[in-house]
């Protein structure tokens, strides 16, 4: 369970990205965060695994206050949280398999990982993650030889190999074409249902968010302005979140 208590974030340049967030996210939920770019979606998401440090308030993960943890404790926290990026963030010249197994490095000592050997069961785990994402046959191809959708699945497999209880996705499909977008979102849904992993995703496409997520959080100017079931969303609520009607590129449109 994740609990935000009056969380604020002010950047060094004075920009106030989060102005007092109060939230509770329960295990097994599929949460989509929507809002204009610059509303604080990314900051909200990245504060959960402390890729960004919050400046005020309290943030609990499983009743542990995380804003003050660092070093080994922080790395243990991050180990239990998978993260998916808009630009996949794979090592492009490395093989798919090596990219996926690199999700395990935090489970080992620095010295062991320098050599680059992993236990057999972890290699099996990596391959099973690839199979779950349907790209086992690409295991030994170089990551940059894959299409965008395939690369995002490799990233998902890497996150799965971490055996996380939570996956954060920062605009996971924003650089994909409509067809692969659907496939990758189906993978997210599968991970959420079959593995029971909580998913929190920033979504640019509102219709996708409504279709896949069971909970929507609308963010505007660093504050939560809507929090509820995706079925409760109405046109008026969207106009409130976006301050205007949706633009053409904010719906995928099938």
Partner 1 sequence: MTNVQQTYLKIPKRWKINLIFSIAMLVALIYSFAGSEINILRLSSVFYSFKYMILAYTKINWDLVLGMGIYPFSDGVVYMALETLAMAFFGTLLGGILAIPLGFLSSETVGGKTGSRIGSAVLVLIRVFPEIILAVVLLKGFGINSMTCVMAIGIHSVGMLGKLFAEAIDNMDKLPLEALDAVGANRWQKIRFGILPQIAADFSSVTLYRLDINVRSASVLGIVAAGGFGAMLSYASAPENQSVLAALMVVIVPMILIMDAISGYLRGKLI
Partner 2 sequence: MTRFTLTSGKVIVKPFNKIWIVLFVILIIVVVLGQYIYFPEYLTLAEIWPFLKKMFSPRNDIFGHRTWGDYFNYIFTIIPYYLLKTIKMSIGGTVIGSAIALPFSVLAAKNVFKNKWITSPFRFIMNIIRTIPAAVMVIVAVFIVGTGNLAGIIGFSLFSFGIMAKMLYEVIETSDMNSFEALESTGANKTQAFRYALLPQIFPIFISYLIYVFEINIRASALLAFVGVESIGSIIQVGLDGGDFDYIGGVVIVLTFVIIIIQLFSNWIRGKLQ
Binding-site ranges for partner 1 (CB under 8 A): 95, 97-98, 115-117, 120, 123-124, 127-128, 130-131, 136, 139-140
Beta strands 198-202 and 166-170 are parallel
Q: Does position 35 bind partner 2 by CB under 8 A?
A: no
Q: Does position 162 bind partner 2 by CB under 8 A?
A: yes
Q: Which is nearer to partner 2, 168 or 209 (CB)?
A: 168
Can you point out the beta strands (E) in 136-207?
166-170, 198-202
Q: Does position 83 bind partner 2 by CB under 8 A?
A: yes
* Nearest distance, CB of residue 165 and partner 1, angstroms: 23
Torsion of the alpha carbons at 218, 223, 226 and 230, rounded to the nearest 10: 30
* Nearest distance, CB of residue 161 and partner 1, angstroms: 13
What is the C-alpha to C-alpha distance for residues 148 and 176, in angstroms, rounded to an integer?
6
Look-up: residue for tokens 């490799």? 154
* Nearest distance, CB of residue 88 and partner 1, angstroms: 22
- Read off the tokens for 89: 């963030």
Does the CA dihedral 63-67-73-75 come out positive or negative? Answer: positive
C-alpha distances in Å from residue 215, one per residue of 57, 107, 188, 207, 211: 23, 32, 14, 13, 10
Q: Does position 218 bind partner 2 by CB under 8 A?
A: no
Q: Which is nearer to partner 2, 9 or 158 (CB)?
A: 158
Q: Which does 189 bind (CB under 5 to 8 A by kind): partner 2, partner 1, none?
A: none
Taking CB under 8 A as the criterion, the residue among 9, 41, 158, 204 binding partner 2 is 158
Q: Residue 161 in contact with residue 127, Cβ under 8 Å?
A: no
* Nearest distance, CB of residue 164 and partner 2, angstroms: 9
* Nearest distance, CB of residue 167 and partner 1, angstroms: 22
Q: Nearest 5°: phi and psi at 197?
A: -90, 130
Q: Which does 49 bind (CB under 5 to 8 A by kind): partner 2, partner 1, none?
A: partner 2
- Read off the tokens for 40: 């604080």
Burial code of 79-113, b = ≥16 C-beta within 10 A, e = fewer? bebbbbbbebebeeeebbbbbbbbbbbebeeeeee
Q: Does position 98 bind partner 2 by CB under 8 A?
A: yes
* Nearest distance, CB of residue 111 and partner 1, angstroms: 14
Q: Does position 43 bind partner 2 by CB under 8 A?
A: no
Summarize as ranges the residues that interact with partner 2 (CB under 8 A): 49, 51, 74-83, 85, 87-94, 98, 102-103, 105-106, 110, 113-114, 116, 155, 158-159, 162
């Amino acid at each position: 369970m994740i609990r935000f208590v009056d969380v604020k974030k002010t950047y060094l340049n004075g920009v106030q990205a989060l102005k007092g967030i109060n939230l509770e996210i329960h295990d097994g939920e599929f949460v989509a965060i929507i809002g204009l770019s610059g509303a604080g979606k990314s900051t909200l998401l990245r504060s959960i695994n402390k890729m960004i440090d919050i400046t005020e308030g309290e943030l609990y993960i499983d009743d542990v206050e995380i804003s003050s943890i660092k070093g080994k404790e922080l790395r243990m926290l991050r180990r239990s949280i998978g993260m998916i990026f808009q630009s996949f963030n794979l090592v492009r010249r490395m093989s798919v398999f090596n990219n996926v197994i690199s999700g395990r490095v935090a489970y080992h000592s620095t010295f062991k990982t320098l050599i680059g050997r992993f236990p057999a069961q972890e290699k099996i785990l990596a391959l099973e993650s690839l199979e779950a994402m349907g790209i086992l046959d690409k295991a030994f191809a170089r990551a940059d030889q894959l299409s965008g959708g395939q690369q995002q699945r490799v990233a998902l497999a890497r996150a799965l190999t971490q055996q996380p209880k939570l996956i954060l996705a920062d605009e996971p499909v924003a650089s994909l074409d409509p067809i692969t977008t659907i496939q990758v979102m189906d993978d997210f849904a599968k991970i959420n249902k079959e593995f029971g992993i909580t998913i929190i995703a920033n979504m640019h496409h509102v219709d996708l968010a409504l279709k896949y997520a069971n909970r929507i959080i609308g963010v505007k100017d660093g504050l939560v302005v809507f929090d509820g079931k995706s079925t409760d969303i109405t046109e008026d609520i969207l106009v409130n979140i976006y301050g205007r009607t949706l633009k053409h590129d904010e719906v995928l449109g099938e």
